[in-house]
Amino acid sequence: MSKTKWDKKATSYTRFTPKPTQFQQKVFDFIDTNSVKLNEKRVLDIGCGTGVYTLHLAKKALHVDALDFSEEMLKILNEDAKRFEINNINTIAGTFDAFESSLYYDIAFCSMSPAVSDVKSFEKMDKCAKTKIFLGWGGKRQSSLHDPIFKAFGSSYHAPSGGLDLLSWLKETKKDFRHTVLKERRESVYNLAKAIENVSWHLDINGVTFSTDKLVNILKEFEDENQEIVNVVDSEMVLAIWS
């Protein structure tokens, strides 16, 4: 996964909001229901991105180490931490594969990150903390905008299977785990320039060769009377906790 592409995405990526989103609240409710307490805990947030979960974790935990290989993402995390006076976060620039720490964390957390997506990374996450919390794709991501555009360029977008792969690994290794499948519908509205930026990034990150001129012409067909482009995404995610 290209660091440059994620650095480029940082400025348009979702940022922390003091009040959890409706979806985030479902995640934290499941954590609470399973009696995972963050108070006085040391947490490792793997693939933390801009900190949309990191800062919520830090508001409850003793300390959070936030790991991501995109320095631009970490800059935004640090900006928001400073803005909201959250001072118990240490950001670490690097990949999870190369990450080394002598600290055995109370909790390892990973949310929607390709940093933990195969057996090797599942095993590493398992070994670095007492309790593990993982949120990943459950195999469904249908987009009213991306799906037809991928098709127009001879491809198709398939949601990563990280959450389903983790469940298989947990079962095979006979781990004591609890999980749920969370559904989300998200609607985004773009002007043409932002739509080009968004769709180009998704095509590029999935290795799809495309013509910018053709992409612009397709996107113009999606513009409404206000020259806005709406993207409705229906997704399913796996949320798992194990120890």
Residue ranges of domains in the chain: 3-141+158-185+235-242
Please answer whether residues 166 and 238 qualify as being in contact, where contact means their C-beta atoms are separated by less than 8 angstroms.
Answer: yes
Could you give the CA distance from residue 64 to residue 39 in angstroms, rounded to a whole number? Answer: 12
Helix, coil or strand: residue 152: helix
Q: What is this structure's pTM?
A: 0.91
Token pair 């991306």 is found at 146
The confidence score (pLDDT) of residue 2 equals: 66
The confidence score (pLDDT) of residue 10 equals: 79
Residues of the chain where predicted confidence (pLDDT) is lower than 70: 1-2
CA-wise closest residue to 163 among 94, 87, 240, 243: 240
User: What kind of architecture, by CATH, is found in domain 3-141+158-185+235-242?
Assistant: 3-Layer(aba) Sandwich (3.40)
* Residue 161 phi, psi (nearest 5): -105, 20
The confidence score (pLDDT) of residue 7 equals: 77
Could you give the CA distance from residue 197 to residue 12 in angstroms, rounded to a whole number? Answer: 9
CA-wise closest residue to 216 among 206, 226, 203: 203
The confidence score (pLDDT) of residue 55 equals: 98
* Residue 104 phi, psi (nearest 5): -95, 110
Please answer whether residues 68 and 47 qualify as being in contact, where contact means their C-beta atoms are separated by less than 8 angstroms.
Answer: yes
Q: Where are the alpha helices (DSSP H) in the chain?
A: 3-9, 22-33, 54-60, 71-83, 119-127, 146-152, 162-172, 192-205, 212-222
Do β-strands 105-111 and 42-46 pair in parallel, antiparallel, or remain unpaired?
parallel
The confidence score (pLDDT) of residue 233 equals: 95
The confidence score (pLDDT) of residue 1 equals: 56
